[in-house]
A and B are shown apart, each in its own frame.
Chain A
Amino acid sequence: MPATFVIAGANLAGGTAAATLRSEGFDGRLVLIGEEPVAPYERPPLSKEFLRGEAPFEKALIRPADFWEAKEVECRLGTRVTRIDSGAREAILGDGDVVRYDKLLIATGLRNRRLGVPGAHLDGVRSLRTVADAEAIRAEMAGATKAVIVGMGFIGAEVAASLRLSGLEVEVIEPLPAPCYRALGPQIGSVVAAIHADHGVRMHFGESVDALEGAGRVERVVTGSGTRIDCDFVVVGVGTVPVTDLLDGVGVPLDNGVVVDEFCRAGPRGRDHMPQGDPDLGIYAAGDVANHFHPLVGHHVRVEHWQNAMKQGAAAARSMLGASECYDEVHWFWSDQFDANIQAAGHVSSWDDPVIRGDIEARSFAAFYLQEGRITAAIAINRGRDLRRCLALIKARAVVDPVLLADPDTDVRAAATT
């Protein structure tokens, strides 16, 4: 009997894993299961080009539409894995079907956190995760003049930019002191706030939402400080929750996602207080849902970005085929907001005293974050080449010369002293 591999999640991580299994020679049965009724696609355009009507959905497909059938990948779309019986090695689907697996990849991603205030159920209150969500926001945009965005993480900030670029008035409410605060910190967060302000986005930081009001349909947002903001619709971007309910009762550690080792393997055993993957269990995880041990960071991390979904999906596939190469890519992501191309790599341990190369005022700079003289992370605005060049330094945990690192006339790579 040829082996059956099941992938829960027909998205960038799951789809890339399926494609990699085939390109690496897996010739068993391959079942890709996804809740959305569409072939695997990538989500970055949903808040940007697709939302603004500049690119068709087909551009977001991770492989051409006919790829999956040609590669004999059984796509079970419009249903999800609701439960795993790890003893019988069975995935139980929402439509009642049961698929037996030899190896299982959890790539179920995230769901959006809901806004827990009165009126959150009103018509015209939207969030963004799927292409259907993006289409619903586009429908709201038609004929609207003003939107309120609740939350200014990356989704909120990118949607704010896209709506503004589409000619809408935009106000944003964010409880933290700056946009994308957790990922970019206070200093660069304030640069991003200034970029939005320049483009006419009105922002309320340190502010919460008390209620959404309207007769059936949202008409205004009431903030914690009592301000009432009239609007035609609302987009909520207040964070996400990893989708792990299908593993309830299985016994694999669930802690901020599915806990996996550096080979993307889930497993119950402990080692140095860290769960260690059990290859015999046959359960793997990749992408947004995977809280993975990262050798470079030195602890478990979970990241919600495009590059990790793709690279870790591929790494999990190789691991499922028995490869023993650990996943240690330098985490990297981008966000495009107005004319700012923001990129970040690595993990920042302290926001204090980054080495700055370039001109913050001119919005062309890179900030390098050091820990005991070694470069661990970088964030760049409109400075992609410098960011690209420092990836190898981050990966090597290189000791760097801060003076050379700050000098725009010196190649970033030449700042390494080890």
Chain B
Amino acid sequence: MGEYVAVGDAGSVPDGQIKVFPVGSHMIAVARVEGRLYAFDDTCTHAACSLADGELEGATVVCACHMGQFDLDTGEVLDGPPPDPIDVYAVQEADGKLLVELGP
């Protein structure tokens, strides 16, 4: 179990949107899709673009730069040029905060 880190306020990610939260030097993206939250690395593994600038298509994020597609449940590459998956994290809202479970 990793440690839950408060990255922002609960409710700061409206449905259908992606927001970026810096955690140290690490950029964590949080998206809300039909009420469900997803947290993942904001940096595309292909050319380091911000995935928050991209497009949500269900639980898939499409990078705005080169249309790389990642599954937000697993981080897997679904289409496009990215060579590697992205890391995905558990995320929840509690006590008015947005909590992301970052690595051990």
Separation of A389 and B83 alpha carbons in the complex (Å): 24
Across the interface, do B54 and A385 meet the contact criterion of CB distance under 8 Å?
yes
Q: In the complex where A306-B81, A385-B55, A389-B55 touch, is A334 in contact with B62 (Cβ < 8 A)?
A: no
- How distant is B10 from chain A, measured CB to nearest CB, in Å? 26
Q: Is the interface of B mostly helix, strand, loop or mixed?
A: loop
Contacts of B83 in A (CB 8 A): 59
Across the interface, do A332 and B67 meet the contact criterion of CB distance under 8 Å?
yes
User: Among residues 356 to 396 in chain A, which have CB atoms less than 8 Å away from a CB atom of chain B?
Assistant: 384-385, 388-389
Across the interface, do A385 and B53 meet the contact criterion of CB distance under 8 Å?
yes
Task: Check: B47 CB closer than 8 A to any chain A CB.
Answer: yes
Contacts of A306 in B (CB 8 A): 81
Cross-interface CB contact of A42 among B54, B62, B63, B81, cutoff 8 Å = B81
Interface size class of B (residues with CB under 8 A): 10 to 19
Which of B54, B55, B66 has the most CB atoms of chain A within a 10 A radius of its CB? B66
- How distant is B29 from chain A, measured CB to nearest CB, in Å? 15
Can you name 23 A-B pairs with beta carbons within 8 Å?
A: A42-B81, A49-B47, A307-B67, A332-B67, A334-B66, A336-B65, A341-B49, A341-B64, A341-B65, A341-B66, A384-B53, A384-B54, A384-B65, A384-B66, A384-B67, A385-B54, A385-B55, A388-B54, A388-B55, A388-B62, A388-B64, A388-B67, A389-B55
Considering the complex, give the chain B residue whose CB is closest to the CB of A311.
B79
Q: Mark A296-339, 1 if CB is under 8 A from B, else 0.
A: 00000000001100000000000000000000000010101000
Across the interface, do A385 and B64 meet the contact criterion of CB distance under 8 Å?
yes
Chain A contact residues, CB within 8 Å of chain B: 42, 44, 49, 59, 306-307, 332, 334, 336, 341, 384-385, 388-389
Contacts of B64 in A (CB 8 A): 341, 384-385, 388
Separation of A307 and B68 alpha carbons in the complex (Å): 11
Across the interface, do A44 and B81 meet the contact criterion of CB distance under 8 Å?
yes
Separation of A49 and B44 alpha carbons in the complex (Å): 14
Going nearest first, the 6 A-B pairs with the smallest beta carbon separation are A384-B64, A341-B65, A385-B64, A59-B83, A334-B66, A388-B55
Separation of A356 and B78 alpha carbons in the complex (Å): 31
Contacts of B54 in A (CB 8 A): 384-385, 388
- How distant is B31 from chain A, measured CB to nearest CB, in Å? 14
Considering the complex, give the chain A residue whose CB is closest to the CB of B57.
A388
Considering the complex, give the chain A residue whose CB is closest to the CB of B49.
A341
Q: Mark B50-80, 1 if CB is under 8 A from A, else 0.
A: 0001110000001111110000000000000
Contacts of B67 in A (CB 8 A): 307, 332, 384, 388
Separation of A306 and B53 alpha carbons in the complex (Å): 22
- How distant is B68 from chain A, measured CB to nearest CB, in Å? 11
> Assuming A384-B65, A384-B67, A389-B55, what are 16 further A-B pairs, CB within 8 angstroms?
A44-B81, A49-B47, A59-B83, A306-B81, A332-B67, A336-B47, A341-B49, A341-B64, A341-B65, A384-B63, A384-B66, A385-B55, A388-B54, A388-B55, A388-B64, A388-B67
Separation of A59 and B63 alpha carbons in the complex (Å): 18
Separation of A336 and B55 alpha carbons in the complex (Å): 19
Contacts of B53 in A (CB 8 A): 384-385
Separation of A307 and B63 alpha carbons in the complex (Å): 15
Contacts of B62 in A (CB 8 A): 388
User: Among residues 22 to 57 in chain B, which have CB atoms less than 8 Å away from a CB atom of chain A?
Assistant: 47, 49, 53-55
Q: In the complex where A49-B47, A59-B83, A306-B81 touch, is A334 in contact with B65 (Cβ < 8 A)?
A: yes
Separation of A334 and B64 alpha carbons in the complex (Å): 11
- How distant is A29 from chain B, measured CB to nearest CB, in Å? 29
Separation of A123 and B75 alpha carbons in the complex (Å): 47
Separation of A389 and B57 alpha carbons in the complex (Å): 11
Separation of A389 and B64 alpha carbons in the complex (Å): 10
Contacts of A336 in B (CB 8 A): 47, 65
Contacts of A42 in B (CB 8 A): 81
Separation of A79 and B55 alpha carbons in the complex (Å): 43
Separation of A332 and B62 alpha carbons in the complex (Å): 15
Separation of A20 and B94 alpha carbons in the complex (Å): 45
Considering the complex, give the chain A residue whose CB is closest to the CB of B65.
A341
Separation of A169 and B85 alpha carbons in the complex (Å): 37
Which of B53, B55, B64, B65 has the most CB atoms of chain A within a 10 A radius of its CB? B64
Separation of A55 and B47 alpha carbons in the complex (Å): 10
- How distant is A284 from chain B, measured CB to nearest CB, in Å? 23
Separation of A42 and B83 alpha carbons in the complex (Å): 11
